[in-house]
Chain A
Amino acid sequence: MPDAPLILHGRVCAVLGENIDTDIIYPGRYLNITDRAQTAEHLFELAYPSIRRDLQPGDFVVASKNFGCGSSREQAATALKFAGAGAVLAASFARIFYRNAINLGLPAVVSPQAFSHCAPGDELEIDLTGGSVHNVTHNIVFPAAPLDPRAVELLQAGGLIPYLKRKHAGVA
């Protein structure tokens, strides 16, 4: 499988505020769904059900500070990924969500300016390692934290499981 790209093009699907918690992203009542593709059906179900309807493959979700706070439930990141989100851009991420996203191969991009420089429908180009975001619609460029080499390695492999699979297949 070819490595996942490090420059992403896509459309902003939603711009959310601060402290979007994991119960908002993926309600606890669906935690017994362990089929990953099925989790997508319940993305933002209680608080923002329209996002699930509007989200097209490759779309970006933008938020302010502390995205993904709360539970360690991986389904929050899984549902975003399997609903087709190309990346999440936020001013900051809660730590467990951040690790879950990268481990699942979903780019989580730290950009304090994204919230004020993006509106739903905007076209973006994100340079994951270069550390910049180009809002093509408004022709503005703003910074993002470049992903660290460990995260890049995991994203390029498609997530932690494909990464470990490759590694252990090599050892055998």
Chain B
Amino acid sequence: MGMTLAEKILARASGRARVSPHEIVVANVDLAMSHENADLVRKSFAEIGVPRVWDPSKIVIIFDHRIPAESEKTATTHKAVREFVAAQGIAHFYDVGRGGICHQVLAERGHVKPGMVVVGTDSHTTTHGAFGAFATGIGATEMAGVWAEGTLWFKVPSTIRIEVDGEFHEWISAKDLILYIIGKLGVAGADYRAVEFDGSAIRRMTIASRMVLANLSMEMGAKAAFTPVPEIGPDPGAVYERVLHIDAGRDLAEPQIACPHSVDHVKPLSALGALPVHQCVLGSCTNGRLEDLEVAARVVAGRSVHPRTRLIVIPASQLVYRDAMRLGYLETLMAAGAIINPPGCGPCVGVHQGILAAGEVCVSSTNRNFIGRMGSKDSFVYLASPAVVAASAVAGELAHPQAICSPEVSHA
């Protein structure tokens, strides 16, 4: 009997010939990532009483949630982490201006390899399944244990396999696909489970788009999510808890929107009535990559952001920022009236750089629309693809990119 990819990686990491779902294993961790919450990890680590981290070369720390520091309190935690990093000899440290959003930086700087066990003190660590890694989020205290011992226990997850074939319609993207799937399975639909994506439509996707699928699988509870890589895959005859088949052309006729205040509250765009929009956000570990900025620039080119709306664009990393600058996307976006935030989490986590007031509506390419996620508990976040975010910014209301772009432009 074959193993799924999650089983295969956990078997290797725990020194076993094979493992089965629901078994508890103790796995060696290959990579341990933290952002600013490294300050919490550091404090717990100090309490354990082990003087040195288990392997400084396997720890990566990337500031992204509050950069540059928005308050003295944050500045103090940043400083404490910098001092810890220096004292422990942690070389893979990405400070303000040297990285960007942790999941983007971890990927683009080549820290993740197929078959690795990656843990991060951020729930969207599942993103790295796009590189064939078993990657999952953990809490700060648990990370302190990893820093001390280099191991972590896991319950081997069962796996849901999702096969996607068919051709995507114009303007329909990986974001629409994963929102559609979350809408079908529910916010706990993959809880404690791994997800394997495959199929011809997935294999045609860019790596950036595959990262969207692995990233947002967390929003249905997934412990890990994988898209195919050449180096490692499930065995033939692997046993799945369930297998879903999706035809991108048939099932995704139009953009998908996750309505407040739950990521599984998903509707096709046409099912929503006129919805005036006050803020549009293009960014985050979900959708702040170069291809996201490219499609947004294409939608807004030669047009203006609607007077009632502000468009906030956050390149996912310094590299994405520079590429988007060089390729003219930022010029186009700014000419339309967008403001460009520094690479980081920005308003997605509700801290700074675009907080919503009571009664305001935001269409966002980010990953969560919970109550108060982006500011006031009485604000409303609709999650959508980068193309829909850009179109809505121009229209001043939730809009299909097709309605904004003339056929000549849209087929260019």
Q: Do they bind each other?
A: yes
- The interface stretch among A4-12, A69-77, A126-134 is A69-77
Which of B71, B123, B148 interacts with A71 by CB under 8 Å? B123
- The interface stretch among A20-28, A54-62, A112-120, A136-144 is A20-28
Contact B153 A164 (CB under 8 A): no
With a CB–CB cut-off of 8 A, which chain A residues contact B137? 72, 96
With a CB–CB cut-off of 8 A, which chain B residues contact A100? 139, 141-142
The 16 sampled A-B contact pairs (Cβ below 8 Å) are A19-B188, A32-B77, A65-B188, A66-B191, A71-B122, A71-B123, A72-B137, A74-B121, A77-B139, A92-B191, A94-B221, A95-B221, A100-B141, A160-B142, A160-B144, A164-B48
Contact B138 A96 (CB under 8 A): yes
Q: Does B377 touch A at the CB level, under 8 Å?
A: yes
Distance between Cα atoms of A103 and B138 in the complex (Å): 11
Which of A73, A95, A104, A159 interacts with B191 by CB under 8 Å? A95
Interface residues of B in 87-123 (CB under 8 A from A): 120-123
With a CB–CB cut-off of 8 A, which chain A residues contact B349? 28, 31, 71
19 additional contacts (CB under 8 A) given A70-B123, A148-B24: A21-B370, A23-B350, A23-B372, A28-B349, A29-B351, A34-B40, A69-B187, A72-B120, A74-B37, A74-B140, A92-B191, A95-B223, A96-B123, A99-B138, A99-B139, A99-B142, A161-B47, A164-B144, A169-B49
Contact A168 B141 (CB under 8 A): no
Given A29-B350, A31-B349, A46-B377, A19:B48 Cβ within 8 A: no
| A-B contacts, CB under 8 A, total | 130
**Chain B residues engaging chain A, CB cutoff 8 angstroms:** 24, 36-37, 39-40, 43-44, 47-50, 65-66, 71, 73-74, 77, 120-123, 125, 137-142, 144-145, 148-149, 153, 187-188, 191-192, 221, 223, 262, 349-351, 368, 370-373, 377
Q: Does A53 touch B at the CB level, under 8 Å?
A: no
With a CB–CB cut-off of 8 A, which chain B residues contact A32? 36, 66, 71, 73-74, 77, 351
Contact B48 A168 (CB under 8 A): yes
Question: A-B pairs with the 7 shortest C-beta distances?
Answer: A100-B139, A74-B139, A72-B137, A46-B372, A28-B350, A66-B188, A23-B370
> Chain B: which residue is nearest A77 at the CB level?
B139
With a CB–CB cut-off of 8 A, which chain B residues contact A74? 37, 40, 121, 139-141
Interface residues of A in 59-95 (CB under 8 A from B): 65-66, 69-74, 77, 92, 94-95
User: How many of chain A's residues touch chain B, expressed as a range?
Assistant: 35 or more
With a CB–CB cut-off of 8 A, which chain A residues contact B65? 31
Given A28-B349, A159-B141, A70:B191 Cβ within 8 A: no
Which of A27, A65, A92, A96 interacts with B139 by CB under 8 Å? A96
With a CB–CB cut-off of 8 A, which chain B residues contact A95? 191-192, 221, 223
With a CB–CB cut-off of 8 A, which chain A residues contact B192? 95
Distance between Cα atoms of A29 and B43 in the complex (Å): 20
With a CB–CB cut-off of 8 A, which chain A residues contact B125? 72
Contact B141 A19 (CB under 8 A): no
Given A32-B66, A99-B142, A100-B139, A165:B77 Cβ within 8 A: no
With a CB–CB cut-off of 8 A, which chain A residues contact B48? 161, 164-165, 168
Distance between Cα atoms of A165 and B71 in the complex (Å): 33
Distance between Cα atoms of A159 and B221 in the complex (Å): 24
Q: Does A37 touch B at the CB level, under 8 Å?
A: no
Distance between Cα atoms of A46 and B192 in the complex (Å): 28
Distance in Å: Cβ of A83 to nearest Cβ of chain B: 17
Distance between Cα atoms of A40 and B372 in the complex (Å): 18
Distance in Å: Cβ of B174 to nearest Cβ of chain A: 21
With a CB–CB cut-off of 8 A, which chain B residues contact A28? 349-351, 373
Contact B139 A34 (CB under 8 A): no
